[in-house]
Structure 1
Amino acid sequence: MTDDEARFAYLAEGNAKQARKRVAVDLLIRDEAGRILLVNPTYKDNWDLPGGMVESNEPPRAAGVRELAEELGLTVTAGRVLVLDWVGPHGPWDDQLVFIFDGGTLSPARVKSIEVRDPEISEFRFVELGEAKNLLRPDMAQRLVRACNALTTGITDYSE
């Protein structure tokens, strides 16, 4: 075995033992009135921000853009990270990282072009922050408030 092969084998063994994190991505998208885009997933009890789970070896930003296109036929450029959370193990789930990216503001024409394209989503709507907090799970509502604050301050919010 050459030195390069031995080094590669050593690194591969380390990679196999290191943690693999689940990663979720959401996008904070607004209309020109400042209302927030929410989706109503068919597999959850509460509304949610648009987004989803990152696939193996997929960059989080690309996953958010992909999920939005698949679910609502909407193409956006995911901007800066507003929120990054580490969520500990819960129920049957291992820990995960949750990103919220700035999905920007849509013109009225782009809002009209949105259509549900995935059976995982039953409907969507744009709502004020107060209504969004009532429709979302409490932990997601708290993340949304932090994301809105990050839009204003320019500072990414990280939490564990």
Structure 2
Amino acid sequence: MSPTPTPDDPDVWDAHLAEGNANQARKRVAADVLLRDSAGRVLVVNPTYKQGWDLPGGMVEANEPPEEAVGRELREELGLEVTLHGLLVVDWVASHGPWDDQIAFIFDGGTVDLPHGLSPRDEELSEARFVPVETALTLVRERMRRRLTAAMDALRHGRPKYLRDGREIW
């Protein structure tokens, strides 16, 4: 039986940690942003690769912080640069269909007015527009509807919400 690795032998220790890292669960992570205009409408986007409208954002790449993923997605898909104002929602989503579980974030993108409108910059979106919150809630799928509702509540109360499968825990 070999001795338990210790930090005293950095090469053996790093190999031990790498083996543990390789065996730990990986989570899919999504990061979206709640952007509003001065009329209080919210920005929604219509993805070409799935049904229903969505908030702007997307999947986080390997070793990418979620808030940086939001910035990358906004630049790539809409040509927008936005300063985030904080976290609104974290939602742990159970595995469903072919998908493993996921952690979904919604960040506060604040208010932005675009005098020349907004149009998608790549093939992942067919449309982007500001709509009243009530309209947005009818356009997005149920899971996002619950997140968006929680995000609006987090804005009103000034504290982030933690959801499990779209249902508020805290």
- The structure whose residues are more often helix, as a share, is 1
SS of the equivalent of 1:144 reads: helix
Residue deviations 1:4-54 (CA, integer Å, cap 9, x gap): 112111111111111111100110000000100000111121000000000
Q: Is the CA contact 1:26–1:100 (under 8 Å) kept in the aligned structure 2?
A: yes
Structure 1 vs Structure 2: percent identity of aligned residues? 58
Matched residues in 1 for 2:125 and 2:113: separation? 22
Cross-structure match for 1:17: 23
Inter-partner Cα distance in structure 2 for 1:67 and 1:74? 9
| Deviation readout 1:75-127 (Å, 9 max, x if unpaired) | 10122110001101111111110000001100343xx2532101110011111
Instruction: Please give the alpha-carbon distance, in whole angstroms, between the structure 1 residues aligned to 2:95 and 2:113.
Output: 39
- Aligned residue for 2:88? 82
User: 1:5 — aligned with what?
Assistant: 11
1:121 has 2:122 as partner: no
CA distance in 2, matches of 1:79, 1:6: 43
CA distance in 2, matches of 1:16, 1:100: 28
Match of 1:69 among 75, 78, 95: 75
Q: TM-score, normalised by structure 2?
A: 0.89
How many residue pairs match? The answer is 158
What is the RMSD computed on CA atoms of the aligned residues? 1.4
**Higher RCO (CA-CA < 8 Å; seq separation 6+):** 1
Q: C-alpha separation between the residues in 2 aligned to 1:40 and 1:133?
A: 13
Q: Highest Rg: 1 or 2?
A: 2
Matches within 5 A, 1:1-160: 3-109=9-115, 112=116, 114-160=118-164
Tell me, yes or no, if the aligned pair for 2:118 and 2:129 is still in contact at 8 Å: no
**4+ runs of 1 displaced by more than 2 Å?**
112-115
Give ranges in structure 1 of 5+ residues lacking alignment: none
The alignment partner of 1:118 has SS state of coil
